[in-house]
Amino acid sequence: MTVLVRDFRTEDAEAVTALRRVCIPYQVVTEELLLFGVATANPAKKYRLLVAEEEGVIIGTAHVGIAYESSEPGQSSVTPHVHPGRRGRGAGALLLRTAEEHLADEGATSVCAWVIDEPSSRAFAEKRGYRPSRGAHFQRLDLARAVLPEPPPLPPGFVLRTAGDFAGNPRPLFEADAESTSDEPSDISTALDDYEDWLHTTWNDPSLDRDLSTAVVAADGRVAAFTAVVTDRATTYVTGMTGTRRAFRNRGLAKLAKSDSLRRARAAGYTDAFTSNDGDNGPMLAVNKWFGYEICASEVRYVRTLG
Ligand SMILES: CC(C)(COP(=O)(O)OP(=O)(O)OC[C@H]1O[C@@H](n2cnc3c(N)ncnc32)[C@H](O)[C@@H]1OP(=O)(O)O)[C@@H](O)C(=O)NCCC(=O)NCCS
């Protein structure tokens, strides 16, 4: 049987959604989100969504792109995933090779892949010249049953808002996202300095649940802290980003934002909350542990130099 790799087509959306849900159950994947990603990717990303097909059945996928938001040029990423029942048939290797050729042609000098921390996936990456770097943890909270801790008090002068309240002018959210994202531990430094691109890729992301995303707003109108949430509009709630601006850290504001959002998500019927943090992100891991999140899977970032 022959495995082939090709670019995603619109009619693949249902099969790719189902496959990625099996491979990465702790992320939100919807058909709408896949189609949005393909249609609106920044041209600088040189984005491709690859699929591996065997006998007409999609058995693997990979998001492939240049890390164009990084302050260091030449960095790129690939996320190959093959259905657990269809591994060992060459799909992963072919996805990776196709991705690396494309990225090298577009000027990438290094490629990063997040690999599930399990022996077979790590061995696959190491055999193909990838070396391990940082780790990250996916964590799950059983939102239906969890006893959520009492939130810290809202400091005088601060108010809670939803992201939806910023529909007329989301710039204060962009400013908080840009400042906090630049401080997130990672070895691809990210500089969010393009408001228009942020509007396209983050604010207009169809999976962003503006009503369940919470902002803590200071008296001067600045967003001091926020939690941005993506959902499948059914049962799964995933934290896309939580951030507190530098001047407001360690005052319980991340806990406050997330407490408000999680409580409203539970009231809206969400049962599974997921989040993912870099293994060195002490403050965020502390916040999530306080809520009762437990590690459900770990990943290791692997890097390969191209050329
Ligand atoms: C992570 C972040 C959102 C926390 O915001 P915050 O408003 O300061 O958080 P809170 O004040 O609600 O809680 C911070 C907790 O971290 C703990 N903490 C602070 N520094 C820590 C460290 N280096 N190691 C471990 N825990 C630490 C605090 O003690 C506190 O926990 P406690 O109240 O149980 O003592 C903020 O540091 C930030 O924006 N970082 C950059 C962006 C980022 O990494 N976001 C997460 C992406 S996944």
Domains, the chain, with CATH or none: 3-108 (3.40.630.30), 141-296 (3.40.630.30)
Task: Determine the atom of ligand 1 nearest the C-alpha atom of 244.
Answer: 39
Q: What is the mean pLDDT of residues 154-180?
A: 97
How high is the pLDDT of residue 69?
Answer: 87
Question: What pLDDT digit, counting tens, does each position of 212-249 carry?
Answer: 999 999 999 999 999 999 999 999 999 999 999 999 99
Do 190 and 69 contact (CB within 8 A), yes or no?
Answer: yes
Counting ligand 1 atoms within 8 A of each CB, the residue from 249, 281, 285, 295 with the most, and so the one to mutate, is 249
Give ligand 1 pocket residues (Cβ under 6 A): 180, 183-184, 225, 241-244, 249-255, 277, 281-284, 286-287, 290
With the C-alpha atoms ordered 301, 302, 305, 307, is the resulting torsion angle positive or negative?
negative
Query: Does position 187 have pLDDT exceeding 80, yes or no?
Result: no
- The rounded Å distance from CA 279 to ligand 1 centre is 13
Ligand 1 probe mutation, 138, 287, 290, most atoms within 8 A of CB = 287
Q: Whose CA is nearest to atom 23 of ligand 1?
A: 282
Q: From the alpha carbon of 184, which atom of ligand 1 is closest?
A: 44
The CA 226 to ligand 1 mean position distance, Å, reads 13
Q: What is residue 78's predicted lDDT score, i.e. its pLDDT?
A: 97
Is the pLDDT higher at 276 or at 72?
276
User: How many whole angstroms separate alpha carbon 19 and alpha carbon 93?
Assistant: 18
Residue closest via CA to ligand 1's atom 46 equals: 242
What is residue 34's predicted lDDT score, i.e. its pLDDT? 95
CA gap 236, 58 in Å, rounded:
24
Q: pLDDT tens for residues 40-93?
A: 999 999 999 999 999 999 999 999 999 998 888 999 999 999 999 999 999 999
Residue 202 has pLDDT above 80, yes or no: yes
Q: Which of 149, 141, 152 is nearest to 253 (CA)?
A: 152
pLDDT at 80: 95
pTM greater than 0.85: yes
User: What's the CA-to-centroid distance between 249 and ligand 1, angstroms?
Assistant: 7
Please state, as a whole number, how many other Cβ atoms lie within 10 Å of the Cβ of residue 104.
14
pLDDT at 205 > cutoff 90: yes
The SS3 call for residue 83 is: coil
d(CA 188, ligand 1 centre) in Å: 20
CA distance 90 to 103: 20
Place of tokens 């002068």: 157
For the ranges 9-18, 67-76, 271-280, which has the lowest average pLDDT?
67-76
Q: Is 256 strand, coil or helix?
A: helix
Q: Where is pLDDT greater, at 192 or 122?
A: 122
- Tokens 């649940």 label which residue? 209
Question: How much is the mean pLDDT over the chain?
Answer: 95
DSSP 281: -
pLDDT number for residue 191: 78
